[in-house]
C-alpha cells in the first residue's frame, strides 16, 4: 500500500493516477487542517535510519504559468517578474512519473534525482508558446524589480520574497540547465512546455 500525501497537488494528483493505472494499491491523503500536520524538514525525516528514501528535486514547474491567469483574463499583456531568468521548467506529470517508478521499482533507493524539462525557456518564450496554443496575440513585459517586490510582498511572506530575489536577481540559483534525468529514469523524454500548454489549454479559457 502506498500513501500519497499532498494528493490534491500538482504532483500528488497525477502521481495517484499513475500508481492506480499501474495497478498499485494506493491511498490519497486529503488534508483536513484540524487533523493533519506534517513534520518539518520532510527530507530530514526521511533520512532517519531504516527508512528507505528517494529524493526528487524538480526545477520550476510548468504549472507556474497558471499564475498568469488573472492577467490573461483581462488582456493580452502579461507582465512578469525576473523576465531575464531562464528555467528548464518541468511538467508535474513527469515528476509524478518518476515518483511512481521510484515507489514501485527497484534501483532508486538512496538516489537523489534532479529533474528538469527538455528546454531552458525565458518567461517570454513560454508566453510565445501559450500565444500559439491559445491562438492569442499575447505579449510579455518585464516588471521592474521594485514593482515585482511590492506585488510579491502583497501575497507572500517577506522571507520568501527575499529568497526569490536572492535566487533570480543575485543569481544564487540557476534553474536553466537541462538534465537527462527524466529520460534516464522513465525511458521517455520529458514533456515540452507546448505539450503541457495543450494539455491544460482549457484552464486558460
The answer to whether the beta carbons of residues 90 and 63 sit under 8 Å apart is no
Instruction: Please state the closest distance from residue 145 (CB atom) to ligand NAP, in A.
Output: 20
DSSP code string of 40-62: S-HHHHHTSTT----EEEE-SBG
- Which of 21, 22, 27, 38 forms a contact with ligand NAP (CB under 6 A)? 38
Instruction: Please state the closest distance from residue 6 (CB atom) to ligand NAP, in A.
Output: 3
- Which of 2, 5, 79, 151 forms a contact with ligand NAP (CB under 6 A)? 5
The answer to whether the beta carbons of residues 78 and 71 sit under 8 Å apart is yes
Strand duo 55-58 + 112-115: pairing: parallel
- Of 64 and 192, nearer to ligand NAP (C-beta) is 64
Instruction: Please state the closest distance from residue 73 (CB atom) to ligand NAP, in A.
Output: 21
Strand partners, 56: 113
Show contacts with ligand NAP in window 96-115 (CB under 6 A). none
Based on the shown chain and the rule CB under 6 A, indicate whether residue 18 belongs to the binding site for ligand NAP: no
Based on the shown chain and the rule CB under 6 A, indicate whether residue 36 belongs to the binding site for ligand NAP: yes
Grid cell digits, residue 116: 528538469
Strand partners, 142: 80
The answer to whether the beta carbons of residues 20 and 43 sit under 8 Å apart is no
Q: Tell me, residue by residue from 123 to 162, as one string, x for binding to ligand NAP by CB under 6 A and - for no binding.
A: ----------------------------------------
For 183, phi then psi, to 5°, come to: -60, -45
**Terminal Cα-to-Cα distance of the chain (whole angstroms):** 38
Based on the shown chain and the rule CB under 6 A, indicate whether residue 46 belongs to the binding site for ligand NAP: no
Instruction: Please state the closest distance from residue 63 (CB atom) to ligand NAP, in A.
Output: 6
CA nearest 189: which of 96, 88, 118?
A: 118
Based on the shown chain and the rule CB under 6 A, indicate whether residue 9 belongs to the binding site for ligand NAP: yes
Chain residues in the site for ligand NAP (CB under 6 A): 5-12, 31, 36, 38, 58, 60-61, 64
Amino acid at each position: 500500500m502506498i500513501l500519497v500525501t499532498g494528493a490534491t497537488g500538482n504532483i500528488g494528483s497525477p502521481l495517484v493516477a499513475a500508481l492506480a493505472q499501474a495497478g498499485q494499491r494506493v491511498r490519497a491523503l486529503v488534508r483536513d487542517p484540524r487533523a493533519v500536520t506534517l513534520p518539518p524538514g520532510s527530507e530530514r525525516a526521511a533520512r532517519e535510519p531504516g527508512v528507505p528514501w528517494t529524493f526528487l528535486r524538480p526545477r520550476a514547474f510548468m504549472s507556474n504559468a497558471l499564475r498568469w491567469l488573472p492577467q490573461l483574463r483581462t488582456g493580452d499583456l502579461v507582465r512578469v517578474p525576473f523576465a531575464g531568468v531562464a528555467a528548464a521548467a518541468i511538467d508535474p506529470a513527469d515528476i509524478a512519473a518518476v515518483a511512481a517508478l521510484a515507489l514501485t521499482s527497484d534501483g532508486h533507493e538512496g538516489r537523489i534525482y534532479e529533474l528538469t524539462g527538455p528546454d531552458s525557456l525565458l518567461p517570454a518564450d513560454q508566453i510565445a508558446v501559450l500565444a500559439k496554443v491559445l491562438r492569442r496575440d499575447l505579449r510579455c513585459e518585464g516588471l521592474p524589480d521594485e514593482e515585482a517586490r511590492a506585488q510579491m510582498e502583497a501575497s507572500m511572506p517577506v522571507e520568501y520574497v527575499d529568497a526569490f530575489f536572492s535566487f533570480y536577481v543575485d543569481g544564487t540559483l540557476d534553474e536553466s540547465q537541462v538534465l537527462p534525468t527524466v529520460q534516464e529514469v522513465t525511458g521517455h523524454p520529458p514533456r515540452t512546455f507546448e505539450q503541457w500548454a495543450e494539455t491544460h489549454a482549457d484552464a486558460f479559457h
